Chains A and B, each alone.
Chain A
Amino acid sequence: MFNRTPIAPLEYTRKLWMRSWVGLTMLFLYAPLILLMIFSFNDSKRNVVWKGFTLKYYEKALNNDSLVEALVNSLTIAALATNVSLVIGALAAVALWRFQFPFKGLVEGTMSLPIIVPEICLGVAFLIFFAKVDWPTDLPWPLNLSAITIAHITFCFPFVAMVVRARLASFNKEEEEAAKDLGATEWQAFRDVLLPHIRPALVAGALLAFTLSLDDFVITFFTSGPDTITFPVKVYSMVRFSVTPEVNAASTILILLTVILTFIALKLQGVKGIAETH
Chain B
Amino acid sequence: MTQAKQPIIQIRNVSKRFGKVTAVDNISLDILAGEFFVLLGPSGCGKTTLLRMIAGFEMPTEGQIIIDGQDMSLVPPNKRPVNMVFQSYAVFPHMNVTDNVGYGLRISGVSKGEIRDRVAEALELVKLGGFEDRMPDQMSGGQRQRVALARSLVMRPKVLLLDEPLSALDAKLRAQMQFELADLQDKVGITFVTVTHDQDEALSMASRVAVINKGEVAQLAPPADLYEYPANRFVADFVGSVNIFEGKLTLDEPDKAAVDCPGLGKIYLNHGVTGPHGADVWVALRPEKIYLHVPGEGKAVRAAAQDAPDGHNLARGTIKGMSYLGDITLYEIQLEGGQMIRVSRPNLSRHDQEDFTWDDKVSMHWRADSPVVLLS
Contact = CB atoms under 8 A, between A and B. Distances in A.
Contacts of B93: 175, 197
Q: Top 4 nearest A-B pairs by Cβ distance?
A: A182-B104, A178-B90, A174-B90, A174-B86
Interface in B89-144: 90-96, 103-104, 107-108, 133, 135
B86 A180 contact: no
B55, B57, B77, B135 pick with most chain A CB within 10 angstroms: B77
Interface in A153-173: 172
A177 B107 contact: no
A183 B79 CA distance: 6
B259 interface: no
Given A182-B151, A184-B107, A177 B77 contact: yes
A181 interface: yes
Interface in A121-157: none
Given A177-B77, A182-B83, A276-B95, A172 B88 contact: yes
A196 B94 contact: yes
A180 B87 CA distance: 16
Interface of B: 55, 57, 76-79, 82-84, 86-88, 90-96, 103-104, 107-108, 133, 135, 148, 151-152, 155
Report the interface size class on chain A: 20 to 34
Contacts of A188: 107
Contact of B78 (A183, A273, A277): A183
Q: Give the dominant DSSP class at A's interface.
A: helix
Given A172-B90, A177-B77, A277-B133, A182 B155 contact: yes
A277 B55 contact: no
Nearest to A195: B94
Contact of B94 (A174, A180, A181, A197): A197
A276 B78 CA distance: 25
B106 to A, nearest CB: 9
A80 interface: no
B71 to A, nearest CB: 19
A185 interface: yes
Contacts of A174: 86-88, 90
Contacts of A197: 93-94
Interface string A18-56: 000000000000000000000000000000000000000
A59 interface: no
A180 B77 contact: yes
A108 interface: no
A185 B95 CA distance: 18
A179 interface: yes
B225 to A, nearest CB: 33
Contacts of B135: 277
B130 to A, nearest CB: 16
Contacts of A278: 96, 133
B91 to A, nearest CB: 8
Nearest to B87: A174
Contacts of B103: 179, 182, 184, 192
Given A172-B90, A177-B57, A183 B95 contact: no
Given A172-B88, A277-B133, A182 B55 contact: no
B155 A183 contact: yes
A58 B95 CA distance: 48
A193 interface: yes
